[in-house]
Structure 1
């Protein structure tokens, strides 16, 4: 059963992000400048700095968003349990609370927000079913972080027929009539991660890219941005292989073909088990870790790994721990997206070398603003950039960085 929260209006104060100061990578080529967060606030909103970095700036406030009383906005994420998705929810809830405060709506007159997400993160079928159910409620607008960029076309057509605008956030879609895309500049951020990782391994050697899926635009953009930066500016670094967490079937076949050793056969059995119809999430996680271990055995000279989100980073570090490759001479460097408390602990322990910290609070807030603008016919920017910054063990204890956690 999917997890769902219906929020009539609530102002929940959880310290997420404030400022950090950062610049681009070692050579700026292909990476641009990071959008960073000032820790100054205004008007009593401790998260105002998260909104100040939104570009265009109009998406950081609710002025002029005079929605009708009782309007309902549906926000559909790819998950709900991780720190990242919780921060997205907080930003969205704050935007709705600000709209209600600004318009003086109370009780049943309040604008409503429904946040929904698959029970298992990145479950395509569950997300499609959720979208069907939400459209049946006739919300005034829908914001969605698409698990599969090619899915939901029928549902989006139905929404268009009923005058329900669709805003994409975090992960885009191939559908042509999306009114706006709210996200991190994944390509530029991933290029920053590539530059930093290549620097940390001495600008030579093999690295692996482990991506969270093969279907979402966020995963694709991060993968491409990382690889393009390496190819352009680090000719002595080789991306040995790119593997996606949902490619278990393909790697299972590869492991089976190379199963002359007992350990390889055991790994193949675990991976194949996760492909069975009734495999649970623990089976899948074990199989994913076995697959990562297989890749590290396949490429024994790997010096670094790029993980495209916190789920991947956790899996990678678990595997490296089991192989005694998080410390000492055999240590493999790791950089990742996301900046929850677990990731910061790994950073502090020296098991992760750097993090691309996004602005999920700003993403949630701007998504609601874009939905409201679309409903009111105010027009939207095709893309709204929400910023990111680079965090390491050297700067993680700065006050401005601590307030960025989500």
Structure 2
């Protein structure tokens, strides 16, 4: 599949997912107009944000905008993001598409940008600022739920009623998105695990709904007590250190460990690999960094929840254009998540999602499904 056909197919698939009306209204940028600037500001130097940049670049090229791209040093770096907003104001940008590192820390800069007529769109996470026109992201709660559902499925393959379930460990990142991913994971995991009540308990209470509900709730509370939350980590090495503390503590018998973003996932995998626990503990991660995919291939990482960062950047710019034209845009757009493991990693759809511009082989040729 050549590059242009691949890009066309990728956008067609996404258009079907998000609806053509959302993505394509407002034309394809062929009208003659003065070239404006759009600032796209992301959180840190990871492949996820590189894919956001790709999407924004493609949309800017199609629509005739000049892209002002900047990336912060981490998901708690407000200073760099505020400086990027000030730069956008100085450059007379028409819009700012930003993944804010805080809920309120950038509000004064947003207010200044809005006073200068700049449209503000959020991607990935939302700031508590009333001037934000639209939020484009995957549901963090649902992403956590997806991770939990697959963790329970893996556990049930070897223990149908989860009678051998031990503690569940979670290491979150420092951005606000971690909170919803963790709550989605905990709620789904405990509910699903509690549904695997041993058959004798089910038979004993099947004629008494109240007793059955009470037995299930008792299981839920027991599972919640067995959840160990590590200290939130911004960097990979910090996540590895936190994972090592949890995994080497003799009081902690762990069945599952969940990382809420790329750095926490990689740190967990580093620790699991170093301790040789890949066959003993189910590891579920978030995002699709190349090293995460490598850990899936080697069996250290059982699976990961993959977002669609390319579309966040692409739709962010398109929504900016529509807003500048005076058109309404959705206040929120969910770009969805997909669970990726060894069984589907090499399928065409997943490869297109992970490599939106294709993956180059050793000879520099663009390939799909490799």
TM-score normalised over the length of structure 2: 0.78
Aligned position for 2:329: 380
Q: Which of 273, 284, 291 is residue 242 of structure 2 equivalent to? A: 291
Aligned mates of 1:212, 1:57 — CA distance in 2: 34
Deviation at 1:144, TM superposition (A): 0.6
Aligned mates of 2:17, 2:316 — CA distance in 1: 11
Q: Which of 301, 304, 308 is residue 256 of structure 2 equivalent to? A: 304
Higher helix share: 2
- Structure 1 residues 259-270: aligned runs within 5 Å: none
Aligned position for 2:178: 219
Aligned mates of 1:116, 1:316 — CA distance in 2: 28
Q: Which of 155, 158, 165 is residue 201 of structure 1 equivalent to? A: 155
Aligned mates of 1:309, 1:324 — CA distance in 2: 22
Secondary structure of the corresponding residue to residue 353 of structure 2: coil
Secondary structure of the corresponding residue to residue 63 of structure 2: helix
- Structure 1 residues 358-369: aligned runs within 5 Å: 358-369=307-318
Secondary structure of the corresponding residue to residue 76 of structure 1: strand
Aligned position for 2:21: 58
List gaps (5 residues or longer) in structure 2: 157-161, 195-218, 356-370
Cα shift readout 1:27-49 (whole Å, capped 9, x = no counterpart): xxxxxxxxxxxxxx69x624314
Aligned mates of 1:53, 1:304 — CA distance in 2: 35
Q: How many residues align?
A: 316
Aligned position for 2:59: 95
Aligned mates of 1:53, 1:316 — CA distance in 2: 35
Q: Does 1:145 align with 2:96?
A: no
Q: Does 1:389 align with 2:338?
A: yes
Cα shift readout 1:377-401 (whole Å, capped 9, x = no counterpart): 1011111121221112122232333
- Structure 1 residues 238-249: aligned runs within 5 Å: 238=224, 239-246=226-233
Secondary structure of the corresponding residue to residue 335 of structure 1: strand
Secondary structure of the corresponding residue to residue 89 of structure 1: helix
Secondary structure of the corresponding residue to residue 69 of structure 2: strand
Q: Which of 287, 293, 302 is residue 353 of structure 1 equivalent to? A: 302
**Contact 2:233-2:264 at 8 Å conserved across structures:** no
**Contact 2:59-2:317 at 8 Å conserved across structures:** yes
- 1:394–1:54 CA distance, 2 compared to 1 (3 A): closer
Aligned mates of 2:19, 2:135 — CA distance in 1: 12
Aligned mates of 2:48, 2:13 — CA distance in 1: 14
List gaps (5 residues or longer) in structure 1: 1-12, 16-40, 101-110, 248-283
Aligned position for 1:85: 49
- 1:206–1:144 CA distance, 2 compared to 1 (3 A): same
Aligned position for 1:73: 38
**Contact 1:92-1:368 at 8 Å conserved across structures:** yes
- 1:334–1:290 CA distance, 2 compared to 1 (3 A): same
Aligned mates of 1:182, 1:75 — CA distance in 2: 13
- 1:370–1:226 CA distance, 2 compared to 1 (3 A): same
Aligned mates of 1:231, 1:348 — CA distance in 2: 28
Aligned mates of 2:256, 2:40 — CA distance in 1: 36
- 1:335–1:285 CA distance, 2 compared to 1 (3 A): closer
Aligned mates of 1:96, 1:50 — CA distance in 2: 20
Tell which has more relative contact order, 1 or 2 (C-alpha 8 A, sep 6+). 1
Q: Does 1:232 align with 2:191?
A: yes
Aligned mates of 1:53, 1:225 — CA distance in 2: 26
Stretch moving more, 227-236 or 112-121 = 227-236
CA RMSD of aligned residues (A): 2.4
Aligned mates of 1:290, 1:300 — CA distance in 2: 15
